[in-house]
Amino acid sequence: MNPIKNIIKYIWYLIRDLGLNNSPSNKKNNSLVIVRMDAIGDYILFRNFIEIIARSEKYKNHAITLIGNTVWKGIAEHFDNEWIDRFIWVNPIKFQKDFLFRKRVLKEIQDTSYSLLFHPTYSRDYYVGETIARYIKAENKITSKGDLANTTRWQKRISDKHYNKFIESKDIFEFNRNKQIVEGFIEHTIDLIKPYINKSNVEGNSIQSDNYMTLFIGGGAAFRRWSVDKWIDFISSLLALYDFDILIAGGPEDKSNGEVIKKHFITNERIINICGKTTLNQLISIIASSNFMVSNETSAVHIAVSVNTPVLVISNGNHYGRFTPFPKSISTNYTVVYPPIIEKEENTDILSKEYSSGSELSIDSIEANVALKKIKKLLPFI
């Protein structure tokens, strides 16, 4: 964001939020509030630690409130409600744009005083997560040391004043980083080595096939998404290799691209377009029952790893080392294909330094035949 616009935005919210410092009407002893306002994939890589916190010696007698992003509401309420006593859901976009909604959320948050606040997000966002954490009434507030990915240095300096303790983490891969942050929070080592979703709690799905693979064509930003033409080339080769059905999956925003792909293979009944037709929990079920999955680098990948479905990831190298590739210690059913310039470089330290904060490489520089070779290595029986 332009520095001047950022300052104007800061002052604007400061003025709009005047008068919100109300005294809480409900004080809870032995209470813990956890704030996570980031995306679906981030929550998938964190959610298992909520159970560990709830079971820990330090916090097993605490009532836990989770303030979270509405985009992963379905996952948290279905899979994690055993460990959470109260949910407060916030739409981050609406929180920034709708003043009345923002005021209602902040008043609800201020209604309760907690013993402790835990804000474990490493790349904290100043205008959403940090604002919520600032207005929460808590005797102590703990967070990660963090970085400047979603904030500026002066904003972080302001935010840091509201916390009593900062936890440092040295591992840059997000799941392992979450583990270190939570270990610092509960003051105990954690044995968990990978994210997981209990398949016995997964909902059923209506897919009329028990022999399929899933292609997830969505992604949060354009640079994350392989083009429709690339997917079509890739699918053409896949169809010639084996007899699995192919599900084209994605969100509502991917529906038109899914239809374009389906139309290209209009006479082939093995191609099924389910873009925009599933809930998040149904998608988890579909991925869990897939023979394998191919996906852009997005939350679907973290879901696949969590349910042990073999997955090939198409990535332009964005956040190399932090979200991709998954370490072998976490998953051996995972592989990733990058643009040629990354594929040729064997030194992962160089790649992490170059692309950990982002990548401007074109994802379409990845050819379908290169991705196909990666699948053959992952699943040699094809």
The closest of 72, 129, 80 to 299, measured between CA atoms, is 72
Residue whose token pair is 């392992």: 176
Does residue 254 share a domain with residue 313? yes
Does residue 143 share a domain with residue 111? yes
3-state secondary structure of 313: strand
Separation between Cα atoms, residue 69 and residue 276, nearest integer Å:
20
Does residue 86 share a domain with residue 21? yes
The closest of 109, 6, 16, 107 to 65, measured between CA atoms, is 109
Residue 105 lies in a domain: yes
Separation between Cα atoms, residue 325 and residue 117, nearest integer Å:
32
Domain final residue, candidates 141, 167, 192: 192
Q: Identify the pLDDT of residue 16.
A: 73
Separation between Cα atoms, residue 138 and residue 177, nearest integer Å:
25
Does residue 264 share a domain with residue 152? no
Structure confidence at residue 25 as a pLDDT band (50, 70, 90): low
Summarised one tens digit per residue, pLDDT across range 334-348 is 999 999 999 999 999
104 is written with which tokens? 């209602």
Domain final residue, candidates 192, 221, 256: 192
Q: What's the one-letter identity of residue 374?
A: K
Q: Identify the pLDDT of residue 303.
A: 97
Q: Identify the pLDDT of residue 267.
A: 87
Residue 9 lies in a domain: no
Residue 1 lies in a domain: no
Residue-wise burial string across 1-10, b where 16 or more C-beta atoms lie within 10 A, e elsewhere = eeeeebeeeb
Long-range CB contacts for residues 265-273, cutoff 8 Å, separation at least 24: 265/235, 265/239, 268/239, 270/239, 270/243, 270/244, 270/245, 270/246, 271/235, 271/245, 271/246, 272/207, 272/209, 272/212, 272/245, 272/246, 272/247, 272/248, 273/248
3-state secondary structure of 6: helix
Mean pLDDT of 158-166: 96
pLDDT surpasses 90 at 201: no
Does residue 265 share a domain with residue 154? no
Domain final residue, candidates 192, 221, 246: 192
Q: What's the one-letter identity of residue 215?
A: L
Does residue 352 share a domain with residue 207? yes
Summarised one tens digit per residue, pLDDT across range 206-265 is 787 889 999 999 998 999 999 999 999 999 999 988 788 999 999 999 999 999 999 999
Contact 291/244 with Cβ under 8 angstroms? yes
Summarised one tens digit per residue, pLDDT across range 300-318 is 999 999 999 999 999 999 9
Mean pLDDT of 367-372: 94
Contact 163/143 with Cβ under 8 angstroms? yes
Residue 149 lies in a domain: yes
Q: What is the pTM of this model?
A: 0.94
237 is written with which tokens? 């080769």
Structure confidence at residue 22 as a pLDDT band (50, 70, 90): low
Residue 2 lies in a domain: no
Does residue 304 share a domain with residue 254? yes
Percentage above 90 pLDDT, the chain: 81
C-alpha angle with apex 108: 104 to 110, nearest 5 degrees? 115
| Structural domain range at position 178 | 15-192
Does residue 160 share a domain with residue 41? yes
Does residue 366 share a domain with residue 294? yes
Summarised one tens digit per residue, pLDDT across range 27-54 is 778 999 999 999 999 999 999 999 999 9
pLDDT surpasses 90 at 200: no
Summarised one tens digit per residue, pLDDT across range 1-18 is 678 888 888 787 777 777
Residue 236 lies in a domain: yes
Strands (E) across the chain are located at: 26-27, 31-36, 63-69, 86-90, 112-119, 137-144, 165-167, 212-216, 245-249, 271-273, 293-296, 311-314, 334-337
Please state the domain count of the chain: 2
Mean pLDDT of 255-283: 93
Average pLDDT, rounded, for the chain: 93
Domain at 350, CATH number: 3.40.50.2000
Q: What's the one-letter identity of residue 7?
A: I
The closest of 273, 330, 340 to 304, measured between CA atoms, is 330
Residue 108 lies in a domain: yes
Q: Identify the pLDDT of residue 26.
A: 78
The closest of 229, 230, 235, 260 to 247, measured between CA atoms, is 235
Residue 6 lies in a domain: no
Does residue 128 share a domain with residue 44? yes
Q: Identify the pLDDT of residue 381.
A: 53
Q: Identify the pLDDT of residue 134.
A: 94
Structure confidence at residue 106 as a pLDDT band (50, 70, 90): very high
Contact 33/136 with Cβ under 8 angstroms? yes
Does residue 177 share a domain with residue 53? yes
Q: Are strands 112-119 and 311-314 parallel, antiparallel or unpaired?
A: unpaired
Does residue 267 share a domain with residue 181? no
